[in-house]
Structure 1
Amino acid sequence: MKQWQQYIDLVQSEVVPALGCTEPVTVALASAKAAELLGGLPDSIQVKVTPNLYKNGMGVFVPGTGKAGLPIAAAVGATAGDASRGLEVLATISEEALHKANQMLSKRQVSVSMVSNDDVLYTVVNASRNQDKVEVCIAKSHTRFEYIVKNGAVVQQAKAVQCVQTTETNHIKLSIEQIVDFVENVPLTQIAFIKRAASLNRALAETGLSGNYGLALGASLQAQVEQGLLADDLINRAMRLGAAASDARMGGAQQAAMSNSGSGNQGIAATMPVVAYAEIKQLDDDAFVRALMLSHLVAIYVKSKQNKLSALCAATTAAMGASAALTWLMGGKLAAIHRAINSMVGDVSGVFCDGAKAGCAMKVSTGASSAVKSAILAVAGSSVSAQQGIVFESADDSIAQLGIMSKTAMLSTDEAIIATMQNKQAS
């Protein structure tokens, strides 16, 4: 069916490997492209980003560097980046390249400032080397080069047609009912590729369980399971694996996550509760693959109603996909899946994003916990009702309303968060 192929294409475009937090990686990608065009290490790099991108780049560690922030992302992008690898631009960083990047920072050759733009992913890198000057702009997605100019001449200009980003952009009609019908009936061979999300993010969680990254929340929860304070049940395993994967990702592990809608944490949130269930119940391949596809496609649907970056924590809302999948795995039908998502809207809709950082592991674990609780409640025939808050009878309407809140009411929240973070930096 044509519509099914659209769903498959959408998931393949939105669920992709990403090394490190995607906002600093965007800066690294632009910087790598600039260095490539200059034919060597730039003498200076000036980075301009939107306030939202700045917010998501301040506190997160850049893979392979041991440092956090956009300046190191720009510097190491220039010294070690491979622009042809997209979100995996920093896959290989040598000690020499890292040393050169740190030298650029110490010599103050890299500067970062904010610029207003309607596109929250708008990123501009101006770099120079000897007499050559390059300007690289990324916009509309984390890897889309809007334009590239070298010495005043346009080297590359993106077409007016936007690349695949959201269901709304591409006029792909999605609803919970359509997604469930697709997942239950599509031939397994056509969606088997989604298993890579499980393998990548499970491996990332294993790295996080070492306790060497981020908050080490996953490792701390694991220790309490081993000591008998916590049970190795579904809710704790989902929280533990999700937190551990986020620990590794936000802590700078040189290891890719499978992202969703441009975010590794969203990909982790949509994946790990399903992996936890599959491990405990020893799921067969058919159920596991279909559940993963259900989770990731619902997560894409939920995110498509929101701004790409906003004051709403998308890691928790991506877990709505996991709750839908868990409900389905527990035998819940369409009505139960609506109930599960509604309960999550009633639970985590108030979690705001105050930037990408180690603390995101806490929010990923919160989303995982809510996903399990909401699924259990839904299968039991209950949920947060339409008489409460911003929840409607239909999960589709609840998802739409949550999107409206993120695009309107939470704008002032976003401004206040960014102002607070700027003041902290200044002081």
Structure 2
Amino acid sequence: MKTHLWPQFIEVVKREVVPALGCTEPVSVAMAAATAMTYLNHEPKTIKALVSPNLMKNGMGVGVPGTGMVGLHIAAAVGALAGDPQAKLEVLKNLTDADVAKGKALIDAGNVTVGVAEVDNILYAETTVSDGEDEVRVVIADSHTAIIRIEKNGEILFEAGKESAGNDEPAACNPFTEAKAEDVYEFALNAPLEDIRFISEAYNLNNALSQEGLNGTYGLQIGATFGRNQERGLLGKDLLNNVLRRTSAASDARMDGAMMPAMSNSGSGNQGIAATMPVVVVADEIQASEEATIRALMMSHLMAIYIKSYQHKLSALCGATTASMGAVAGMTWLLGGEFKQISDSICSMIGDIAGIICDGAKTSCAMKVSSSASAAVKAALMALDGIRVTGQEGIVADDVDTTIRNLSTLANGSMCETDNEILRIMVSKVA
């Protein structure tokens, strides 16, 4: 076992699995605006946001918590008016109705603008905020909360070193340059329990968000729809339908602006939900011990990060699919599988749902979350019966690590043009 990697595994999970209030792309814009306001003396009069095409795609149609509105204009406005930059991905947690009213007034007056920046960064958000006397520009790049530049009236106040602004982590901070999927599996099963107990907060936050989605009328009500039809007798109250109901309900609430945080994964609340809730439901179904639940959640979240580490932060590949590939690892183990079955289940999922596109963050993401969770249940049960998509089929290879890299080659290569076409279609709808 590569125990020397374990401290790095813990570090990367603590960095990538964090609470997030609302979709993380609008949150980046809100955080940049909130940070700018710390250098100004008066309320904002004008706000200008420029974002990368991928961030525009994921921000233009998603609900912003506490506002009842969608999109980057309101995120920039309320971020400047009431954001807490120290709260990072929970920057909007103190938002009030009065703040929202002021933000809407700024937008209605034409004082908030949003455009697409010509940048190479896949994840990029900058805001320029003026209070009528001074002007501050804040730039975030490559990670949702990574500020790389602050300017006031044209003077540079802060500029991150080149090593902070690159697309890739330094090798010393990225354990996956050496690790394989089996190392993730061995860590999750053998690390000291107290070192990984913190992952149980993912259970608490995302399960609470799921209950909110079931009890409310959020988005497309995917989770509530499953629940209603279980009560009508049209769907059984079985493992599959409970996974779909509880997982998609959390996404319903999160994507429609519920004022509750999700535990994110790799910068995405939906990915955090997808990596958490299927494992939670299986653990509840089999009455797993606290330790088994913690180890399964760690396996799921770290495996999801491992798979995502080969891909761009944002791409044309739906992130809920890769996060659910983490979930299938935790589920398969809870149901009695070992590493071979986990490898088989991940390979089968890649053979099944590799083609699901990301066409922006929106309420219908809950449908993709439920589809991915369904594929995870199916792949886990197949693997436990010794069945998998073989290495002679499509992009699937004989071993899981090569299969993961094949998926990432697709996401980072030819699907970049798919991403461009998706954005062109989306922008044309609001032009």
What secondary structure sits across from 2:64 in the alignment?
Answer: coil
The amino acid of 1:122's aligned partner reads Y
- 1:157 has 2:162 as partner: no
Which residue is 1:347 aligned to? 352
CA distance in 2, matches of 1:376, 1:40: 59
The amino acid of 1:102's aligned partner reads K
Which residue is 1:37 aligned to? 39
Q: Is the 8 A contact 2:163 2:170 kept in 1?
A: no
- 1:208 has 2:213 as partner: yes
In the TM superposition, what are the counterparts of 1:371-410 in structure 2 within 5 Å? Answer: 371-410=376-415
Which residue is 1:176 aligned to? 181
- 1:416 has 2:421 as partner: yes
Query: What is the aligned counterpart of 1:237 among 222, 235, 242?
Result: 242
Which residue is 1:272 aligned to? 277
- Provide the TM-score with structure 1 as the length reference: 0.97
- 1:110 has 2:112 as partner: yes
CA distance in 2, matches of 1:144, 1:421: 27
Measured after TM superposition, the shift of residue 248 of structure 1 is 0.4
Report the count of equivalent residues. Answer: 426
Task: Tell which deviates more after alignment, 15-24 or 145-154.
Answer: 145-154
Q: Is the 8 A contact 1:211 1:218 kept in 2?
A: no
Which residue is 2:28 aligned to? 26
- Provide the TM-score with structure 2 as the length reference: 0.97
CA distance in 2, matches of 1:146, 1:39: 22
Query: What is the aligned counterpart of 1:124 among 123, 126, 135?
Result: 126
CA distance in 2, matches of 1:233, 1:168: 45
CA distance in 1, matches of 2:167, 2:94: 27
What secondary structure sits across from 2:163 in the alignment?
Answer: coil
Q: Is the 8 A contact 1:206 1:245 kept in 2?
A: yes
Runs of 5+ consecutive residues of structure 2 not aligned to the other structure: none
Alignment CA distance shift 1:126-1:163 (3 Å): closer
Which residue is 1:15 aligned to? 17
What secondary structure sits across from 1:371 in the alignment?
Answer: helix
Query: What is the aligned counterpart of 1:94 among 93, 96, 110?
Result: 96
Which residue is 2:49 aligned to? 47
Q: Is the 8 A contact 1:211 1:220 kept in 2?
A: no
What secondary structure sits across from 1:155 in the alignment?
Answer: strand
The amino acid of 2:242's aligned partner reads R
CA distance in 2, matches of 1:185, 1:138: 37
Alignment CA distance shift 1:163-1:181 (3 Å): farther
Which residue is 1:68 aligned to? 70
Which residue is 1:260 aligned to? 265
Which residue is 1:147 aligned to? 149
CA distance in 2, matches of 1:369, 1:30: 37
Task: Tell which deviates more after alignment, 358-367 or 115-124.
Answer: 115-124
Alignment CA distance shift 1:320-1:68 (3 Å): same
Which residue is 2:374 aligned to? 369
Measured after TM superposition, the shift of residue 310 of structure 1 is 0.5
What secondary structure sits across from 2:103 in the alignment?
Answer: helix
The amino acid of 1:317's aligned partner reads T
Which residue is 2:58 aligned to? 56
- 1:319 has 2:321 as partner: no
Which residue is 2:342 aligned to? 337
Q: Is the 8 A contact 1:14 1:165 kept in 2?
A: no
CA distance in 2, matches of 1:166, 1:206: 37
The amino acid of 2:412's aligned partner reads K
Measured after TM superposition, the shift of residue 167 of structure 1 is 7.1
CA distance in 2, matches of 1:168, 1:204: 34
Deviations 1:375-420 (A, max 9, x none): 1001110101111000001111111010010011101111110000
What secondary structure sits across from 1:391 in the alignment?
Answer: coil
CA distance in 2, matches of 1:18, 1:171: 22
The amino acid of 1:192's aligned partner reads R
CA distance in 2, matches of 1:51, 1:214: 24
CA distance in 2, matches of 1:174, 1:365: 30
What secondary structure sits across from 1:400 in the alignment?
Answer: helix
Deviations 1:8-41 (A, max 9, x none): 1110000000000000000000011112211232
What secondary structure sits across from 1:262 in the alignment?
Answer: coil
Q: Is the 8 A contact 1:166 1:304 kept in 2?
A: no
CA distance in 2, matches of 1:420, 1:135: 30
The amino acid of 2:29's aligned partner reads V
Task: Tell which deviates more after alignment, 154-163 or 22-31.
Answer: 154-163
Measured after TM superposition, the shift of residue 163 of structure 1 is 8.3
CA distance in 2, matches of 1:121, 1:166: 12
| Aligned-pair Cα RMSD in Å | 1.4
Task: Tell which deviates more after alignment, 154-163 or 303-312.
Answer: 154-163
Alignment CA distance shift 1:163-1:12 (3 Å): farther
Which residue is 1:195 aligned to? 200
Q: Is the 8 A contact 1:61 1:357 kept in 2?
A: yes
Task: Tell which deviates more after alignment, 157-166 or 3-12.
Answer: 157-166
CA distance in 1, matches of 2:316, 2:233: 37
CA distance in 2, matches of 1:171, 1:47: 31
